[in-house]
Structure 1
């Protein structure tokens, strides 16, 4: 009897293994075309970056994706892979972004600057949400723009989407606005800093506190010159660190709103990619990570985020942007000016 049960168990196990293998093969086949397209775009963007170091592969990828989506009609076969890249790969890339952060570097800024960074993120989000409400935008659209402009650009936009599950049109609009307005800030901040007679150090702090994407901050810091680049990147990464508490607060809020409704999936108390991000920050801050491993991690993180940015860019259609109307652009203008003003006042007081 026991041998018969064992045989049945073995047969059932074999069937389950075959079924899992079949599902995996089907999933792989559906994802491959889109992932292959993202891989090609990533290789192109990173190759351009290797020749022109000031050209961010992430921004190149977004532009490539948007151009491709608006010039040709992408086949349906690439959609699953693009969606996988825009969500799953991006979250892994955001988690690995933690390897760029050392808590000692941020603490070295001094408590005055740290308070300014917290103020930029908190007041930036609050002010943008309020202005968006006056403009009549939805809560999710306001939140995507507020976090993207106040924390770390497209990565923050996608991170918020992972918690609140925003409408795709709102997500893509927020990503497009981050690219447009953040890129415009690259020449504007150095020019205004020069006109205001700011030192390189203060100019770098302002750039790191005001500009949306890490890559855009690097470009602006390099344009200012001197010691500006190093301080700009550290201040910006301090803003990136705020991603963890903000996402946790949003996740708690969503869980409370959903309550005990069994028909709606509740987000985790702390999103998994946020836990990964914090773990990477802690590991980097211990100083135990070999430089070769950190270099490899940075390459993988850049590649994953570049692929994700291409996938997000491929969803940005001119017709969609036209359809949302001028109100998101008005909010983006207000938010950019608001965050930059908070950062400028903070830098002036901290100095």
Structure 2
């Protein structure tokens, strides 16, 4: 006789949970749908004109900022810019295969790692000297040092959420994409002066250009050997993403979380769940535990999720606020880019001197 109320109560709880999910989905759907449509449009434009997809997604989203004023659309856009973003970053782990790094050798890896550290530290100092926030310094220098837009997206998820957070991310995404595209054209031509071998030039390209697509384009425009080397070096930088994000989270993100958690009695998260997912997926891919088709599907899904979330960030961002930041962020990004390039080039020449 006593089991019937329990069963009925359990059924009511299940119905309430199901009803809550339906209600949440209905509330988020308009904004998610708009962000998805904008992401698809950005992909179509990028394929048609050969433009960087993330930059196009940001620009298309910025053009649709007026939609963010609608109460029905705003919750879904916010959710896409946050949750979908983190899921896309976690799936980036499937791009990492640690075994590929062995073929490059320890010396070039140490050169590039040193360049990354110098770029991050120097970039933060430069940003602070220009009067920019430490969050922007960490976001921009980490993006330049690791892997461009993907790193900027990952780092932004662990930084404290402030009114200017989306604006800063939009500025960095636009800046590193533009600089990376310029580098793809100019850096190979610089070898007319540097006179590096194809292998050495591959190290320079993979160690200094921000985004993977531009690294591949620049490397294979020189030779197959330069392209292969550049791609592997670039993947090494991508594999360091987890360490960089954890470092920035420990330095800035967790400190703010600790303060707010202490004040409000909340629980402080020492390692975000999406970073754990990133590491687990990278380990699975490195151990070849996942079929190639699954890895390919995961990487493709990651690209789509990031594209859609960047479109959502564009929708959230007021273009007028981006214009208000002035030239200081541009100067910081250019300076960080030059630091990365100079350190890698000097390191390559040092390796040549030591070998010969």
Task: Specify the alignment match of 1:159 in structure 2.
Answer: 154
Of the structure 1 ranges 132-141 and 214-223, higher mean CA displacement relative to structure 2 is found in 214-223
CA contact (8 A) 2:68 2:316 kept: no
* Structure 2 counterparts to residues 276-315 of structure 1, below 5 A: 276-315=277-316
Q: What is the aligned-residue RMSD (CA, Å)? A: 2.5
Equivalent of residue 177 in structure 2, options 176, 179, 186: 179
**Worse-superposed segment, 108-117 or 217-226:** 217-226
**Gapped regions of structure 2 (runs ≥ 5):** none
Aligned 1:222-301 pairs, distance under 5 A = 222-253=220-251, 254-255=253-254, 258=258, 261-263=262-264, 265=266, 268-301=269-302
Whether the aligned pair in 1 keeps the contact of 2:98 and 2:239 (CA below 8 Å) is no
Of 204, 207, 232, the residue aligned with 1:206 is: 204
* Distance in 1, Cα, partners of 2:218 & 2:268: 36
Q: Deviations over 1:216-262 (max 9, x none)?
A: 32333343343222222221121111111122223333445626714
Structure 1 residues 255 and 43: CA distance shift in structure 2, 3 A: closer
User: In the alignment, what sits opposite 2:219?
Assistant: 221
Distance 1:66 1:216 in 2: 24
Relative distance call for 1:136 and 1:93 in structure 2 (3 A) is: same
Give the drift of 1:47. Answer: 4.3
Instruction: State whether structure 2 residue 37 is matched by structure 1 residue 37.
Output: no
Matched, 1:330 2:335: no
Q: Do the aligned partners of residues 193 and 320 (structure 1) sit closer, same or farther apart at CA in structure 2, a change above 3 Å counting?
A: farther
**1:342 alignment partner in structure 2:** 343
1:19 counterpart (16, 19, 41): 16
1:261-299 CA-partner distances (Å, limit 9, x unpaired) = 141756532222222111122111112332222222222
Deviation, structure 1 residue 31: 1.8
Matching residue of 1:128: 123
Which one is further off, 123-132 or 171-180? 171-180
The count of corresponding residues between Structure 1 and Structure 2 is 345
Contact 2:55–2:174, Cα closer than 8 Å, also in 1: no
1:251/1:267 contact within 8 Å kept: no
Q: Is the 8 A contact 1:209 1:232 kept in 2?
A: yes
Which residue among 138, 145, 150 is the counterpart of 2:140? 145
TM-superposed deviation, 1:104: 1.1
Alpha-carbon separation, structure 2, partners of 1:211 and 1:345: 15
**Match of residue 57 from structure 2:** 61
User: Within 2, Cα distance between the matches of 1:282 and 1:130?
Assistant: 34
Q: Do 2:62 and 2:314's aligned partners in 1 also have CA atoms closer than 8 Å? A: yes
The equivalent of 1:188 in structure 2 is 186
Hey, what's the Cα distance between the residues in 1 that align with 2:276 and 2:242? Answer: 8
